[in-house]
Amino acid sequence: MRVGAVTDRGQLRPSNQDGYRIHDRLVAVADGMGGHQAGEVASAAALEALVSYPLEGDDPGAALVAAVHEANRRVYTLSLTRPDYAGMGTTLTAAHLAGGRWWIAHVGDSRAYLYRQGRLRQVTRDHSVVAELVALGYLRADEARTHPQRHLLTRALGLEATLEVDLYSLEARPEDRLLLCTDGLSSVVSDATMRELLARGGSPAEQAARLAEKALEQGAPDNVTVVVVSLDEGDVLGADG
């Protein structure tokens, strides 16, 4: 499995509250929220809980969802320990390769995309106010990019003791690219431009750098995190976790 990853605080934010992890056949991104450094604490705690959770077993999807629930418990418990952590939270989008498939667990407005045969498809659905408005037909997708409530989430880790987690499953193919990103990329770079940049080829590291650079060129008002994954034939055949 070849992975390229970039994280950057962007052009306007004083710190980077995003994070990512690459661990064995697991990749994940998180976008923290909270005052001072609380967002950074939340995203880091969620990612550490995720990668330390055992994902072995006969049901890889259920194991990944359980890992996200543990990450939620960890962040929520931590938020109760200090006044400046109160109300902190984070998005989390995680992909685990097992049994020849990608299992993707998702909460928030970070995203997973699949690039296959020249086409880019958003796999996850944002848990945000504007995503709900688009789904109901009240907003167009292009209008959602500049909507004043575009950063309001309807679901995030750490805000409550319990959490609903979305789970997706995709066939893993060596010629694919799996893209995970925070909204620092998707809010300023269109899907069409992302597809174009991925279509130029290169290694996952080159593609991730190219995508992050485009976000920075567009002004990058938020933190930007990009993870691109490609597989070799042996990765797919051997992914029986």
Question: How far is Cα 103 from Cα 143, in angstroms, rounded to an integer?
Answer: 31
Q: Which residue has the higher pLDDT, 36 or 186?
A: 186
At 241 the pLDDT is 44
Pairing of strands 92-98, 89-90: unpaired
Q: How far is CA 125 from each of CA 44, 78, 135, 168, rounded to the nearest angstrom?
A: 23, 27, 10, 10
DSSP secondary structure letter of residue 160: S
Local structure of 1: helix, strand or coil: coil
- Report how far apart, in Å, the C-alpha atoms of 123 and of each of 20, 66, 216 are: 18, 20, 24
- Domains: count for the chain: 1
Range of the domain at 147: 2-238
> Rounded mean pLDDT of 164-177?
96
Instruction: With cut-offs at 50, 70 and 90, classify the pLDDT of residue 54.
Output: very high
CB 231 within 8 A of CB 1: yes
**Strand spans (E) along 123-184:** 166-171, 177-181
**pLDDT tens digits for range 98-157:** 999 999 999 999 999 999 999 999 999 998 777 676 676 666 776 666 656 666 788 999
Residue 189: per-residue pLDDT: 95
Which CATH number fits the domain that encloses residue 142?
A: 3.60.40.10
**Pick the residue with more confidence: 21 or 233?**
21
Question: Tens of pLDDT along 208-239?
Answer: 999 999 999 999 999 999 999 999 877 776 55
pLDDT of the residue at 153? 87
Tokens of 183: 């909204």
Nearest to 26 by CA among 122, 121, 102, 110: 102
Q: What is the pLDDT of residue 138?
A: 60
Torsion of CA 235, 232, 19, 30, to 10 degrees: -70
The per-residue pLDDT for 202 is: 95
